[in-house]
């Protein structure tokens, strides 16, 4: 048998798969065959490396060379140059977007260097479809260790670690387990919440796809700790790859006897089933999720009683988020002190964020609590593209709030964000630059929660509708004096009177943008002006005569013939015809088209 | 799998599979694989090194390749970099020489002087 001298790990996360990672893989296998070195090179799938916009991506070990934007035709070059002759293919390496510096190895790039990977420990290292590789990376060792401890000691370790729930609320995980253990009732259950309803978030999906065994192991340790012998995965049906990998992982674990009866020769027995969610946002709320597993409508019910006392089929139930569970094995293996040495006073460990929006490096990142927003944006994220100014970041998606530029140096944790009216949330992190209108951001999120309201309670159903109507008027230039006060009043009512977390948090994006960007609301209402020049109803595209060279490109791209003029003369835009698609603005080679305030145009 | 011992056994077997991705590189062996290197038999040399390392069950050595370094008449070239030691470049490394380099330099820390082409401090 030939000796394997190189491993090529190809990212097989959803994003890379949809940018045709598997076509690259096929081409690579063919090229290896052709070069006669197929036996020496092991080609392996791996979980999301986090740099999804650079996909498909691959890492070549042992040197750790990181290739990006791979196309099937690149496979031959990599084989002939790198794998045969040891010459790294420079044009396929990662280039820092701001400095244009080229980095050959994954461990060197700014995006990775600044991270601390506990939850994402196996992404880019092992094959998510191989239980053996998971076991090789200490997999199921934490379970084996936990089984030698008493359930109380396991709970105590998790309590001392300071781990808090990553699903949004930040409830201490050890305490939740203790309450469930002490609750009377049998059988008990463990649920993994993989509903991930925050639009634009993909942390949980990536972990489920990239390291499914780590979640299974976390669920089993939770089961042992609380005295449950049955667990459920609840994953939205729109995550087919995650579902496939979980099912594969469950089958492997079962065939190895790692789930089933008398695990590792002990009295502990545990089995896990997978349930698909319909994808409604409210189904991520724990009581709605439980109702949905029971086969009922996914609607929330009042708490208390909490699931720890009365959960699935009225039995005591631990429900934890995917990321929470991914932290369990490392905590058991390395101890509570090891975990609590990372983070801040009350927020221990790391947080995974889906970094998106106006930032150079988007993707999946994991940083210690206490990292500042500025470090995330400028060190990990590589700064704001196009030399634009940072304006604010939205955390917690539709339940969260914004963090304005004056808080760039604020260390991020549960407490600090709560103080300024934002939340850590489940990990959506959207970066916005000066071109973003904060009123429109609030409208966007409220539109989402409004449409996702299950309608069971009137404050949420009717209240969010009223707020949305006001916001729509404001961005259309029809805002009235008193609208801001009405929004605040409605927001506080909805917060107070709604049944579940969806309604209770729905006004947050509005209230938080009013808190920090009230002047933008006022400009829309009083002057009918959008300071970010983003709201279509309040802007006009116009030609800057001094800059126009009469090239006629704007007239060619305009879909409605609103950009008019004669070649080599100064063009103009007919505001009456213009549908504000912005195509001319984007295409003018001389930057001769600007967005102006519509009001000024009229005068 | 019925016991902790079973788990341990599977783990040890599987660790070989992911070794290349996780090992901390202590010692590096770099084989020159330019066109003339390959013509001079560098691939056979590379395979001999890998085979010898695996026979001896040596874990903490990383074997990589490099391109043309412009010293064609001395090919195949093999560099050995040990932590805290200068980089040693061996010349005309046949598969047999390669096996001896592993036995002597890698395992016993004995540089085989007669095949050394150059020694580079601070590599
Ligand atoms: C509207 C709404 C949606 C939610 N969606 C999710 C979700 O997608 N994933 C999640 O883990 N928790 C979600 N939660 C929080 C859960 O109710 C619950 O607190 C969490 O799963 C507990 O796990 P943890 O303690 O590990 O965070 C949601 C809550 C609300 C109110
Ligand atoms: S594309 Fe720009 S430069 Fe060309 S005609 Fe239009 S406004 Fe003038
Ligand atoms: S914004 Fe669109 S519709 Fe308006 S002038 Fe430019 S291309 Fe035409
Ligand atoms: S899916 Fe490939 S890097 Fe994220
Ligand atoms: S190809 Fe080997 S030194 Fe030039």
What is the whole-number distance in angstroms between the Cα of residue A428 and the centre of ligand 5? 51
CA pair distance B45, B29, nearest whole angstrom? 11
* The predicted structure's pLDDT at residue A354: 95
CA pair distance A271, A228, nearest whole angstrom? 10
A507 near A466, Cβ under 8 Å?
no
In the numeric block, which tokens belong to residue A62? 């042992």
CA pair distance A564, A553, nearest whole angstrom? 10
Considering only CB atoms, A87 lies closest to which of B21, B22, B67, namely B67
Q: Transcribe A78-139 into DSSP letters.
A: IIIIIIHH----GGGBEE-TTT--EE-BGGGSHHHHT---STTTTTTTS-TT-HHHHHHTTT
Q: Counting atoms of ligand 3 from 1, which one is nearest the CA of A581?
A: 2
Interchain proximity A62–B25, CB inside 8 Å = yes
* The predicted structure's pLDDT at residue A101: 86
CA pair distance A591, A553, nearest whole angstrom? 12
Pocket around ligand 5: residues whose beta carbon is below 6 Å from it?
A: B 32, 34-37, 68-72, 75
Interchain proximity B4–A264, CB inside 8 Å = yes
Strands A563-564 and A428-433: unpaired
Q: How confident is the model over A342-351, as a mean pLDDT?
A: 96
Residue with the nearest Cα to atom 2 of ligand 2? A588
Q: Nearest C-alpha of chain B: how many angstroms from A553?
A: 48
- Name the closest ligand to CA A106: 4
Interchain proximity B3–A125, CB inside 8 Å = no
Residues from chain A contacting residue B21 (CB–CB below 8 Å):
7, 9, 59, 61-62, 125-126
Interchain proximity A5–B18, CB inside 8 Å = no
Q: What is the DSSP letter of A416?
A: H
How confident is residue A359, by pLDDT bands cut at 50, 70 and 90?
very high
Q: Greatest CA span in chain A, whole angstroms?
A: 86
Residue A430 gets the label, from left (phi > 0), alpha (psi -120 to 50) or beta, of beta
Nearest Cα neighbor of B106 from B55, B44, B32, B34 is B55
Give the side-chain half-sphere CA count within 13 A for A9: 30
Interchain proximity B34–A257, CB inside 8 Å = no
Q: Nearest C-alpha of chain A: how many angstroms from B109?
A: 23
* The predicted structure's pLDDT at residue B123: 47
Q: Which residues lie below 8 Å from residue A240, measured CB to CB, with a gap of 6+?
A: none
Higher pLDDT pick, A153 / B82: A153
- Name the closest ligand to CA A398: 1
* The predicted structure's pLDDT at residue B100: 95
Q: Kindly report which listed range (A71-75, A560-564, A598-602, B83-87) carries the lowest average pLDDT score.
A: A598-602
Q: Nearest C-alpha of chain B: how many angstroms from A267?
A: 12
Q: Nearest C-alpha of chain B: how many angstroms from A62?
A: 5
Give the side-chain half-sphere CA count within 13 A for A213: 32
Residue with the nearest Cα to atom 29 of ligand 1? A285
- Name the closest ligand to CA A568: 2
Residue B18 has pLDDT above 90, yes or no: no
Chosen from B8, B13, B21 to mutate, greatest number of chain A CBs within 10 A: B21
What is the whole-number distance in angstroms between the Cα of residue B70 and the centre of ligand 5? 5
Q: Which residues lie below 8 Å from residue A48, measured CB to CB, with a gap of 6+?
A: A11, A13, A14, A15, A16, A123, A206, A209, A210, A364
CA pair distance A260, A67, nearest whole angstrom? 41
Domain-wise residue ranges, chain B: 22-120
Q: What is the DSSP letter of A164?
A: B
SS3 A603: coil
Q: Greatest CA span in chain B, whole angstroms?
A: 59
Which uninterrupted H or E stretch holds A354?
strand A350-357
* The predicted structure's pLDDT at residue A60: 94
* The predicted structure's pLDDT at residue A1: 47
**What mean pLDDT value characterizes chain A?**
94
Residue with the nearest Cα to atom 20 of ligand 1? A167
Considering only CB atoms, B7 lies closest to which of A4, A126, A264, namely A264
Cis-peptide into A131, omega within 30 deg: no
Q: Which residues lie below 8 Å from residue A150, measured CB to CB, with a gap of 6+?
A: none
Residue A305 has pLDDT above 80, yes or no: yes
* The predicted structure's pLDDT at residue B23: 67
Residue B66 has pLDDT above 90, yes or no: no
A335 near A159, Cβ under 8 Å?
no
How confident is residue A99, by pLDDT bands cut at 50, 70 and 90?
confident
Torsion of CA A202, A43, A213, A329, to 10 degrees: -90
A204 near A314, Cβ under 8 Å?
no
β partners of residue A593 = A543
SS3 A54: helix
Fold of B22-120: Glutaredoxin (3.40.30)
Q: Nearest C-alpha of chain A: how many angstroms from B55?
A: 10
Q: Transcribe A213-236 into DSSP letters.
A: HHHHHHHHHHHHHHT--EEEEEEE
Residues from chain A contacting residue B36 (CB–CB below 8 Å):
none
Q: Counting atoms of ligand 3 from 1, which one is nearest the CA of A593?
A: 6
**ipTM computed for the complex:** 0.83
Nearest Cα neighbor of A557 from A573, A546, A544 is A573
* The predicted structure's pLDDT at residue B25: 67
pTM of the model: 0.90
**What mean pLDDT value characterizes chain B?**
87
Residues from chain A contacting residue B35 (CB–CB below 8 Å):
85
Residue A330 has pLDDT above 90, yes or no: yes
CA A415 to chain centre: 21
Q: Ligand 2: does its nearest atom lie under 6 Å from the Cβ of A554?
A: yes
**Tens of pLDDT along A487-519?**
999 999 999 999 999 999 999 999 999 999 999
């Amino acid at each position: 048998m030939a000796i394997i001298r190189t491993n090529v790990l190809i990212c097989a996360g959803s994003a890379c798969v949809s940018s045709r990672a598997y076509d690259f893989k096929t081409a690579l296998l063919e090229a290896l065959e052709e070069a006669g070195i197929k036996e020496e090179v092991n080609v392996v799938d791996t979980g999301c490396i986090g740099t999804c916009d650079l996909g498909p991506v691959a890492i070549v070990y042992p040197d750790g060379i990181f290739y990006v934007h791979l196309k099937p035709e690149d496979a031959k070059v990599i084989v002939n140059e790198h794998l045969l002759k040891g010459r790294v293919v420079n044009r396929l390496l990662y280039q820092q977007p701001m400095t244009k510096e080229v980095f050959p190895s994954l461990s060197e790039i700014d995006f990775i260097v600044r991270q601390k990977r506990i939850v994402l420990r196996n992404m880019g290292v092992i094959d998510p479809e191989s239980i053996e590789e998971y076991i090789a990376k200490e997999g199921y060792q934490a379970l084996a260790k936990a089984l030698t401890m008493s359930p109380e000691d396991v709970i105590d370790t998790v309590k001392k670690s300071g781990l808090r729930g990553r699903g949004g609320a930040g409830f201490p995980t050890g305490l939740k387990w203790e309450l469930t253990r002490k609750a009377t009732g049998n059988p008990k259950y463990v649920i993994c919440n993989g509903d991930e309803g925050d639009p634009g978030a993909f942390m949980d999906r990536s972990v489920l796809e990239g390291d499914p065994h780590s979640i299974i192991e976390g669920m089993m340790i939770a089961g042992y700790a609380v005295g449950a012998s049955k667990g459920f995965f609840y994953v939205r049906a729109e995550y087919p790859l995650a579902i496939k990998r979980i099912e594969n992982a469950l089958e492997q674990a079962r065939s190895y006897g790692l789930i089933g009866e008398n695990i590792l020769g002990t009295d502990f027995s545990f089995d896990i089933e997978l349930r698909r969610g319909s994808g409604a946002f409210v189904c991520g709320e724990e009581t709605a999720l439980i109702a949905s597993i029971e086969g009922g409508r996914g609607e929330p019910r009042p708490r208390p009683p909490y699931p720890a006392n009365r959960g699935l089929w009225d039995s005591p139930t631990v429900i934890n988020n995917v990321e929470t569970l991914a932290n369990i094995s490392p905590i058991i293996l390395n101890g509570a002190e090891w975990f609590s040495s990372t983070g801040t006073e009350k927020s221990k460990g790391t947080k995974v964020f889906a970094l998106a929006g106006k930032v150079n490096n988007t993707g999946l990142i994991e940083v210690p609590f206490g990292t500042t927003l500025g470090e995330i944006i400028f060190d990990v994220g590589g700064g704001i593209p196009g030399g634009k100014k940072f304006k604010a970041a939205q955390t917690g998606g539709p339940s969260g709030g914004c963090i304005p530029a004056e808080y760039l140096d604020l260390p991020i944790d549960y407490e600090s964000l709560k103080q300024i009216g934002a939340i850590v949330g489940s990990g959506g992190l959207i970066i916005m630059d000066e071109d973003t209108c904060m009123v429109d951001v609030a409208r966007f999120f409220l539109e989402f929660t409004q449409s996702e309201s299950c309608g069971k309670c009137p404050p949420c159903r009717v209240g969010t509708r009223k707020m949305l109507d006001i916001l729509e008027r404001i961005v259309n230039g029809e805002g009235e004096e008193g609208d801001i006060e009405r929004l605040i009043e409605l927001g506080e009512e909805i917060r107070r009177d709604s049944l579940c977390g969806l309604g209770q948090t729905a006004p947050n994006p509005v209230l938080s943008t009013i808190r920090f960007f009230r002047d933008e609301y006022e400009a829309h209402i009083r002057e009918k002006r959008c300071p970010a020049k983003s709201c279509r109803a309040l802007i006009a595209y116009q030609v800057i005569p001094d800059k126009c060279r009469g090239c006629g490109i704007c007239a060619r791209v305009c879909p409605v013939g609103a950009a008019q003029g004669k070649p080599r003369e100064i063009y103009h835009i007919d505001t009456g015809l213009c549908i504000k698609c912005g195509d001319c603005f984007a295409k003018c080679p001389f930057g001769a088209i600007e967005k102006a305030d519509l009001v000024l145009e009229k005068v | 799998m019925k016991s902790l011992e079973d788990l341990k056994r599977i783990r040890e077997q599987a660790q070989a599979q992911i070794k290349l991705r996780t090992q901390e590189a202590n010692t590096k062996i770099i084989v020159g694989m330019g066109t003339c290197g390959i013509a001079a038999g560098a691939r056979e040399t590379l395979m001999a090194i890998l085979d010898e390392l695996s026979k001896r069950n040596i874990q903490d050595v990383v074997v990589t390749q490099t391109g043309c370094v412009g010293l064609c008449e001395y090919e195949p070239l093999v560099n050995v970099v040990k932590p805290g030691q200068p980089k040693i470049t061996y010349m005309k490394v046949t598969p047999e020489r390669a096996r001896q380099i592993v036995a002597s330099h890698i395992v016993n820390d004995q540089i085989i002087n007669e095949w050394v082409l150059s020694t580079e401090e601070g590599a």
